[in-house]
């Protein structure tokens, strides 16, 4: 599949996740097989108002591979201006796409009329996508949910509105806003969206291993998949998925390899953000790496008290020596 001028051989991508898909996670997933990654969502208004923290979230480095920048908001003019600014950043590498968040279910985003709240108004979706597409030379992509509630599964209508306005690709998370991240992914809705579109579709939701990736593609007919929470603390999932797609054998990582990967990811984060910020932020991801470790609860307690890289490394030392 293609996103603009970028060809993705297998269509295997890392989904954008607020608080997770920073450069450290994007890079480690890219190195293990993710063909495309997307930044954490950034506020269009904050970009327009030149907020330094927001630009830090959207900064891309050359070694990350193809990266899209995800923006959120509800005002077409503001979204368009943010896309224009981010398409040619003053620092770092340029993105390969501008992605529009129309799927975030979090209350503070939804209540502000942003994220998945945009699915209440397909006409607004069309105006936003058209405005952003007119403002950038990059392909514009859109991430949606199945709908807001089970009684209004309108992903097909919203996806068609985005396509009509110039979207180059769509991603559907097969849950509703009301489900948040609970319940199960509705693959039938993703299949229905795929049947209605002429542009590429990513399927997203409940992909936690190579087998789920294959069955998602088979069940929905999607052109590619986006892996979200299944990649947190497990970047090896991309190697596993590519192995299944190519028919080759996947060798399960050892505890030592998982430990080394967690520390590598932390070192990248420290390089970007400094130890003081990166170590506390990394705890939630390291905790998920730890689920593969013997005595994880005790190690996790040490990690949660750690404030330096050396303390994290020491907490994981037992696993390195076993």
Which amino acids are annotated catalytic?
Answer: 104
The contacts found for 287-296 with CB under 8 angstroms, 24 or more apart, are: 287/233, 288/232, 288/233, 288/234, 289/233, 289/234, 289/258, 289/259, 289/261, 289/262, 290/233, 291/233, 292/255, 292/258, 293/255, 293/258, 293/259, 293/319, 294/255, 294/319, 294/322
Distance CA 25, CA 19 (A): 10
Q: Which helix (H) or strand (E) holds 300?
A: helix 296-305
Nearest to 258 by CA among 287, 233, 237: 233
């Amino acid at each position: 599949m293609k996103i603009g001028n970028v060809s993705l051989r297998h269509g295997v991508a890392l989904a954008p996740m607020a608080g997770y898909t920073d450069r450290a996670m994007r890079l480690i997933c890219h190195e293990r097989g993710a063909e495309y990654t997307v930044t954490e969502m950034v506020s269009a208004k904050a970009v327009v108002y030149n907020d330094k923290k927001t630009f830090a979230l959207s900064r891309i480095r050359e070694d990350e591979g193809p990266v899209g920048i995800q923006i959120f908001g509800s005002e077409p003019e503001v979204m368009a201006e943010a896309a224009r600014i981010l398409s040619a950043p003053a620092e770092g590498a340029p993105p390969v796409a501008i992605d529009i968040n129309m799927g975030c279910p979090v209350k503070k985003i939804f209540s502000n009329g942003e994220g998945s709240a945009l699915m209440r108004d397909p006409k607004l979706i069309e105006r936003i996508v058209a405005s952003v597409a007119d403002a950038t030379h990059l392909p514009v992509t859109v991430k949606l949910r199945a709908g807001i509630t089970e009684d209004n599964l309108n992903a097909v209508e919203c996806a068609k509105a985005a396509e009509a306005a110039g979207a180059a690709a769509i991603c559907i998370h097969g849950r509703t806003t009301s489900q948040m991240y609970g319940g199960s992914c509705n693959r039938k809705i993703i299949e229905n969206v795929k049947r209605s579109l002429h542009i590429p579709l990513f399927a997203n939701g409940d992909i936690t291993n190579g087998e789920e990736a294959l069955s998602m593609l088979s069940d929905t007919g999607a052109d590619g998949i986006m892996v979200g929470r299944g990649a947190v603390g497990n970047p090896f999932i991309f190697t596993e998925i590519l192995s299944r797609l190519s028919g080759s054998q996947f060798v399960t990582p050892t505890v030592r390899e998982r430990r080394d990967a967690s520390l590598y990811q932390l070192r990248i984060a420290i390089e970007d953000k400094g130890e003081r910020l990166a170590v506390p932020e990394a705890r939630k991801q390291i905790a998920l790496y730890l689920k593969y470790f013997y005595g994880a609860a005790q190690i996790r307690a040490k990690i949660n008290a750690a404030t330096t890289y050396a303390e994290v490394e020491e907490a994981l030392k037992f696993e390195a020596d076993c």
